[in-house]
Amino acid sequence: MLMKNFAICYNQEILHSIEIKDKLAKILLNKGVTAEVLNIDCLKEGFDFVFVIGGDGTILKTARFYAKYKTPIFGINLGRLGFLSQSSREDIEKSVDEILSGKFIVQDRIMLQYNKFTALNDFVIKGCDLGRTSRFSVKINDKFVCDYLADGIIVSTPTGSTAYGLSAGGPVVAPSLKAFVIIPICPHTLTARPIVVPDCEKITVCVDEKTGYILSTDGQELYECSEDIEIVKSDYTAKLALLENTEFYSILRNKLHWAVPPAYVK
């Protein structure tokens, strides 16, 4: 993969991001690479590869922007979990060496689309009255599935299955699967369970005309909705650069401490 134009995207609201941005720029310059520095709020096209400094929220926003340009992004974690990140601040130089040597792969991650809005993790639909449950009628390919009386509905990608969907009781879905997950949030019934559907399906959440609804995109942008919400697979995919030998299940173990038993206390 021929790469000539590099960018460094950082989130100045995150502690130490300016320091790490300067460190990364210096490392690249010492290796003969000049990178343009971009603030998360001032992204632009024209790059072959983008380093992203921040937490998962910063990576989500950057990934959505660069998906339409098919530009790979590489995350350096300064947040808490950093599930989408590939490098820590301590391993920046090692990671840069591997990337410049071509020792990485670019993984396509499917995204969701509703009208002009896209999401890499999930769309979350809730009633405007956050103190009460709301009724959500769900259709798949225009065929009625069920009504939920719940705090909300999450429609998640495999990438987003380890985010809000996991907290709401949804399954972990391997990122290579072409599927979406529909997860009710705190449903007022004992029989409601998450549903996994192929990514070629159209998911419609029908809204009640008497109730206002809020749509959240990756937990970052909020929109009021007064008509049915039709969600499909986006025409674009997010391009995540992963170092060689990166393995999804080891990330589960290391970052989510998956199935780790409680420590024995004497």
| pLDDT on residue 266 | 52
Going by the DSSP 8-state scheme, the letter that residue 256 receives in this structure is H
What gap in Å lies between CA 112 and CA 123, rounded to an integer? 8
| pLDDT on residue 126 | 93
| pLDDT on residue 83 | 72
Query: Model's pTM, two decimal places?
Result: 0.91
Query: 10-residue block means of pLDDT along the chain (266 residues)?
Result: 88 88 94 94 95 92 96 86 76 92 94 96 91 90 94 96 93 94 93 94 89 91 91 97 83 74 60
Residue 92 parent element (H or E): helix 92-100
Q: Which residue has the tokens 């030998």?
A: 245
Judged on CB neighbours under 10 Å (0-12, 13-18, 19+), 265 is exposed
Q: Please indicate whether residue 122 is annotated as part of the active site.
A: no
- The terminus-to-terminus CA distance of the chain in angstroms comes to 54
16 touches 89 (CB < 8 A): yes
Return the C-alpha torsion angle 262, 183, 246, 251, nearest 10.
-20
| pLDDT on residue 39 | 94
| pLDDT on residue 236 | 97
Kindly list the structural domains of the chain, giving each domain's residue range(s) and its CATH number in brackets, ordered by start. Answer: 6-102 (3.40.50.10330), 113-234 (2.60.200.30)
Catalytically annotated residue among 22, 41, 56, 91: 56
79 touches 56 (CB < 8 A): yes
| pLDDT on residue 216 | 95
What gap in Å lies between CA 75 and CA 52, rounded to an integer? 5
For 198, the 3-state DSSP assignment is strand
| pLDDT on residue 80 | 66
- Residue 25 sits at φ, ψ, to 5 deg, of -60, -40
Q: Which two tokens stand for residue 174?
A: 């391997």
